[in-house]
Amino acid sequence: MSRPCDRSTALDTFRHPQQERTGAKPADAGRSPAGDRRARPSARGSTASLHWLPEPLISTRGSVLHQAFTVDLASTSRLLMREEQLLGRSGEAPGHLTTRLTVRRGGRPLLDQHSAYGHPAPAWDGPAVLGGHRATGQLLLVDPGLDAPQEPHLIGDGSAEGHAVLTPLADPQALIATAVAPTPAQLRHLLDTALAHVYETPRPEAEGEQ
């Protein structure tokens, strides 16, 4: 039987992993041909942990960038991955940005996600996608210590602060939080809140409660 996941222990594990980082990356105008940003991190050891925490990507006016991340995990590996995009600097329209995230765990597909922002992507800034916000991102967590099913969880009010949705994937040990917000700082706060929520200590049962 798996041990219940303790919040402090789990968060401490993610503070000291095998780490991969990249610096802030503005997508500048004038690239010809279109820019590409690709990475293929992996955590294949039986007890490997991987942080993949690139700094926010800024899609500037007139830029074109295609970003693709592919992650390979062992079935017993841990992953904490965060992606953040800022669509246009203050007062400017963004360029065209496409992103793709593919994750395999134990040789099997876990997530294959594609997003597109900026002209000519349809309805990218409409209410069903960004709802007027310009910072967007996600946090993907894979942890073999998660042995209790998680329910979808909404974070934030969606207007002034933005909002995030924490959702379990088909694999019960994997969750993804997607968020939109007015600013990168508010976006980071939402994603950090989602991670903390996963490891909240369960409420003890009251006396006589079944």
pLDDT in tens, 153-188: 999 976 788 999 999 999 989 999 999 999 999 999
Residue 146 φ/ψ region, left for φ over 0, alpha for ψ in the -120 to 50 degree band, beta for the rest: beta
pTM beyond 0.95: the answer is: no
Tell whether 114 is covered by a domain.
yes
Tell whether 156 is covered by a domain.
yes
Q: Which pLDDT score, from 0 to 100, does residue 38 have?
A: 64
Q: Which residues of 75-112 are buried (b: 16+ CB within 10 A; e: fewer)?
A: eebbbbbbbbbbbbeeeeebbbbbbebbbebeeeebbe
Instruction: Please give the DSSP secondary-structure letter assigned to residue 200.
Output: P
Total of domains in the chain = 1
Tell whether 210 is covered by a domain.
no
Tell whether 170 is covered by a domain.
yes
By residue range, what is the domain housing residue 39? 7-198
| CA end-to-end span of the chain | 20
Query: What percentage of the chain exceeds 90 in pLDDT?
Result: 48
Q: Are 56 and 184 in contact (CB under 8 A)?
A: yes
Tell whether 58 is covered by a domain.
yes
